Amino acid sequence: MSLARALSKKSEARVDISDLNKDYMADEKNYPRMVLYFIQLACFVFLLNAVDSQNWYSGNLELDYTEGVPTGTSMEIQLDVDKDSADGDIKIDGFFSYLDWQSTRNDTTIPSDKSSPESDFDVKPLSEIQEDLPLMIKIAISVSSVLMFLSFFKIKYRSILGILNSSLALYILFTIIILAPIGYIGDFDFTSGMSTEDKGESTIHQSFEGTPEIKLGENLELNYIFTVDGFDLGLVNTSQLDTVIENEPSNDHPSYFKIEGKAGMRYGTFVTEYLWVCMVIFVASPLIMSLRERTKVSKPLTL
């Protein structure tokens, strides 16, 4: 019986040591997490200052008539956007070539067989984004502060708030890079100055080719280089109109035109920096810490 009692006491002692080890691990604060949340908080503070004081992006659109009657005519649109404004400039070269083209052509159009289906997708105006973005960053600062508090006192389920904070950081990045440019373009009237009385097509046999280009250096750049060509019905003799419509003529036809263009977006330096911060601080670091905490083996307590 004495041997059984000894084994029982030894088992109880092991249970007590295990419980002490669990208590010890529970009392140990997760300092890496606290440091991460502090860094996230600092990143949002710096981002708020950058959004308030720096240029968000510069947009550029270049169009050059390389073949056809208006050869030599080019147009360039420059746009600068920050928190308070969206200033644009339009520059046109070859104005006399443009006038000659307009005076030579007629108003011939054909009914369009293209239908534009109605869409329920609403583009958020840039003015609203300029107001909402600083507010979102301030909310993210508050969330990061709460995360530090929860981590210090080891309150459960704080990981849910951490996921929310990282998601908010990525949405802020998405807003700056995607939604802000779309917000301006969505309200831009590309048909301004064009006649729409017949609501028809003034070009025929038109083709379009484009190539996207991404540059990631000190400044993030998104470019799209494209070429448009076709035949201007306003330059086609009325006696040849049916023939040109039914059969595409050669490129030496008087109505042929070709436009080479480039649409680009160049973001502020802080946008590129914030892009890397999101990938490292808000995505990679939390993921690595979570995997490490799940696979970590607790060291036994030495008595």
User: Once rounded to an integer, what is the mean pLDDT over residues 257-262?
Assistant: 94
Which pLDDT score, from 0 to 100, does residue 72 have? Answer: 84
Asked whether the beta carbons of 33 and 286 are under 8 A apart, the reply is no
Which pLDDT score, from 0 to 100, does residue 258 have? Answer: 94
Query: Mean pLDDT over all residues of the chain?
Result: 82
Write down the H helix ranges in 72-157.
95-104, 126-152
Q: Which amino acid is at 211?
A: T
From the list 290, 29, 65, 44, the residue with the least C-alpha distance to 151 is 29
Long-range contacts of 157-162, Cβ-Cβ distance < 8 Å, separation of 24 or more: 159/290, 162/37, 162/286
Per-position b or e across 7-28, b if 16+ CB within 10 A of its CB = eeeeeeeeeeeeeeeeeeeeee
Query: pLDDT at residue 25 above 80?
Result: no
| Distance from C-alpha of 267 to C-alpha of 174, rounded to nearest angstrom | 13
**How confident is the model over 193-207, as pLDDT tens digits?**
334 444 678 888 999
| Distance from C-alpha of 132 to C-alpha of 127, rounded to nearest angstrom | 9
pTM: 0.75
